[in-house]
Homo-oligomer: A and B are copies of this chain.
């Protein structure tokens, strides 16, 4: 459960409004080394050194996948603009698309309120899921009764 920690208050590119409009990154400054260090410092990795990262297609807002990042993966993503993760099954660096060609160009990285979840706004080439589906959440859906307003 999110618990606000004053020590992780945003200091880089905060936005005061609560809209979720994708940033037009072309008009913004480049990511500096200082920006990268600040964001990494604010990220609260788990006991296993990993943080969950949600990849969302920046324009359609599809949730594509959830994967994990260690500090090295987060730094590489921030400095190269390409989605790089930590593969828990293989125990090492996983550059999305190295095998499939389905790379992710990362436009924006957001941290949640307590810094323990990353949200990536990406341009996903091809399917994000190794099954060939556009997203990892396309195949298995259950409608919930009683959940309508």
Residues of B within 8 A of A35 (CB): 142
Give how many A residues have a beta carbon under 8 Å from the other chain's beta carbons. Answer: 80
Stoichiometry (number of copies) = 2
Question: Given A2-B130, A137-B111: A26 and B148 within 8 A (CB)?
Answer: yes
- A140: chain B residues at CB < 8 Å are 10, 12, 14, 39, 42, 110-113, 115
A63 within 8 A of B: yes
- Which label, helix, strand, loop or mixed, suits the secondary structure of the A interface? loop
Q: How far is the CA of A29 from the CA of B145 in the complex (A)?
A: 8
Evaluate contact between B13 and A141: CB separation under 8 angstroms: yes
Nearest CB on B from A38, distance (A): 8
- Smallest CB gap from A30: residue in B: B145
Contacts beyond the supplied A26-B148, A29-B143, A78-B144: 10 A-B pairs with Cβ under 8 Å = A1-B67, A15-B138, A18-B138, A20-B60, A20-B138, A23-B143, A65-B112, A109-B144, A112-B136, A123-B147
Closest 4 CB pairs of A and B: A81-B146, A81-B147, A30-B145, A61-B61
